[in-house]
């Protein structure tokens, strides 16, 4: 067992080329459980959390760029970051976990219930994957293949996550439900991103994604299409609650039944929409 602490991305790439059976660790909040339960048996660990570039949040002309070792705590507190991602990050685990758990870890662990993942889908996030030989960008929607399986290849490191600055002009929100209120894994979660027409409040653009309701974080395109051009009045909201549960492919597991996941899907989307619009006073759904 070895433990490597590279200080630059290039050094990390060299390290992983030499140790293809090693596992990347940053916060370790998912990985250590897998190792301790014997579900993952790496021959060593490569620590990505000390690489400055990976810990930065920055903007260029077109994109907001998040290093993969940015912690949940950083995400939750950064004002430039859209609410759907901030809220998701702020509801991961406990304060202790959020202080060390990273965005890259949440992404590469690829659990269907990861609380930042629906937010990344609705923000059209792209992931920069680097190896010694090449670098490529993969869209969030193409990255997740099945539970715990991603498009990341051996020798590759997820370096950064970016999404277009234009996304900052819309409203976004997030909601989750679990077996309890604090330190809880989502039974279902949902993120939305939308823009409304100024006068009418008609939805001019809308993205909806949900977690823990399919083998991968899922975008609900059919629902998006159905809602575009509509105002979020009581009738529309009731409609969301009606159909959302039919658009997902959940399973029954130790945390929730398939039936429950379907039943609450719509209300979580409504709650996510409310969290997106309430702050700017554009929520029309009353108490709903």
Partner 1 sequence: MTGKELRIVGRRVRKVDGIELVTGQAKFTADMKLPGMLYGFARRAGQPAGKLEGVKKDEALKIPGVVDVLTAEDLPGPNLIGVLPPFDQPVLATGDIRYAGESVAFVVAETREAAKRGAAALDVRITEVPPILTVDEALGDGARKIHENGNITFSRKLIKGDADKALAEAPVVVENTYETSFQDHAYLEPETDLAVPGGDGRITVYASCQSPFHLRGLIAANLSVPAGRVKVVQSNTGGSFGGKDDVAVEIGILAAAAALRTGRPVLVAHERGESMVGSNLRHASRITITTGATKEGKIVARKIKIILDGGAYASESPFVVMKALIHAAGPYLIPHVFVESTAVYTNKTYAGAFRGFGVPQVTFASESQMDELAAKLGMNPLTLRKINALRPGDATATGQVFKQSVGLLQAIEILEKERLPEKPEDPSDRYLYGTGHSCMLQGISNGAEGVDVVGATVQVSQDGSALVGLGLTELGQGSRTVYAQIAAEELGIPLETVTVRQVDTDSVHDSGPTVASRSTTVGGMAVLKAAREVKESLLDMAALMLQTDKKEIYFQDGFAILSKNPDARIPLREVATAAYWTGHPLMHLAFSKAPEAKYDHDTHQGSIYIAYNFGAHRMSIRIDRWTGEVRVLEHLAAHDVGKVINPVGLEGQVEGGSLIGYGYAHMEKIEESRGIIRNANFADYAVPSIKDRIPTRTLVVEEANPTGPYGAKGVGEPPVAATAACFANAVSDALGVRFTRLPVTRQDILRALQSGAATHGGDKNG
Counting contacts by CB under 8 A, is residue 97 touching partner 1?
A: no
CB 287 to partner 1: min, Å: 4
- Rounded-to-integer distance, Cα 285 and Cα 69, Å: 38
Q: Measured at the alpha carbon of residue 15, what is the angle toward residues 9 and 18, in degrees to the nearest 5?
A: 145
Burial class (CB in 10 A: 0-12, 13-18, 19+), 71: buried
Is residue 221 involved in binding partner 1 (CB under 8 A)?
Answer: no
Query: Does residue number 39 form part of the binding site for partner 1 (CB under 8 A)?
Result: no
Cβ at position 90, least distance to partner 1 in Å: 12
Which tokens hold the place of 50?
């000390």
Interface residue with partner 1, options 8, 10, 96, 179 (CB under 8 A): 179
Closest CA to 171 of 102, 258, 263, 84: 84
Helix (H, G, I), strand (E, B) or coil at 183: coil
Give whichever of 68 and 106 is closer to partner 1, judged by the CB atom.
106
* Residue 183 makes contact with partner 1 by CB under 8 A: yes
Closer of 50 and 148 to partner 1 (Cβ) = 148
Pick the binder of partner 1 from 7, 242, 246, 279 (CB under 8 A).
Answer: 242
Tokens representing residue 164 in the block: 């277009």
Nearer Cβ to partner 1 (133/180): 180
21, burial (CB in 10 Å: exposed 0-12, middle 13-18, buried 19+): exposed
202 or 263: whose CB is closer to partner 1? 263
Nearest CB to partner 1, comparing residues 5 and 263: 263
Total Cβ atoms within 10 A of residue 250: 23
Q: At what angle do helices 258-278 and 234-243 cross, to 10 degrees?
A: 150
Q: Smallest gap, in angstroms, from Cβ of residue 161 to partner 1?
A: 25
Does residue 182 belong to the site contacting partner 1 (CB under 8 A)? yes
Provide the binding-site residues for partner 1, judged by CB under 8 A: 38, 94, 177-185, 234, 238, 241-242, 254-257, 259-260, 263-264, 266-268, 270, 285-288
């Amino acid at each position: 067992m070895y433990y490597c602490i590279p200080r630059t991305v290039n050094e990390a790439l060299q390290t992983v080329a030499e140790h293809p059976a090693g596992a990347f660790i940053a916060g370790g909040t998912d990985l250590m459980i897998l190792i301790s339960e014997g579900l993952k048996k790496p021959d060593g660990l490569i620590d990505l959390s000390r690489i400055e570039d990976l810990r930065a949040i920055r903007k260029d002309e077109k994109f907001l760029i998040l290093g993969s070792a940015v912690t949940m705590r950083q995400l939750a507190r950064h004002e430039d970051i859209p609410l759907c991602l901030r809220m998701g990050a702020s509801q991961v685990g406990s304060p202790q976990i959020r202080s060390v758990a990273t965005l890259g870890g949440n992404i590469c662990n690829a659990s269907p219930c990861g609380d930042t993942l629906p937010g990344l889908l609705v923000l059209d996030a792209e992931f920069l994957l680097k190896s010694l030989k090449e670098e490529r960008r993969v869209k969030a929607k193409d990255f997740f293949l099945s539970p715990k399986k991603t498009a990341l290849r051996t020798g590759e490191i997820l370096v950064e996550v970016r999404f277009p600055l234009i996304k900052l002009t819309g409203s976004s929100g997030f909601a989750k439900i679990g077996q309890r209120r604090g330190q809880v894994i989502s039974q279902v979660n949902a993120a939305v991103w939308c823009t409304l027409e100024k006068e009418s409040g008609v939805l001019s653009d809308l993205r909806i994604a949900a977690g823990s309701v399919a083998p991968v974080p899922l975008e609900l395109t059919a629902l998006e299409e159905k809602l575009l051009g509509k105002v979020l009045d009581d009738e529309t909201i009731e409609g969301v609650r009606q159909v959302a549960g039919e658009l997902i492919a959940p399973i029954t597991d130790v945390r929730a039944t398939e039936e429950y996941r379907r039943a609450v899907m719509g209300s979580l989307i409504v709650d996510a929409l409310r969290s997106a619009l309430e702050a700017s006073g554009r929520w029309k759904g009353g108490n709903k």
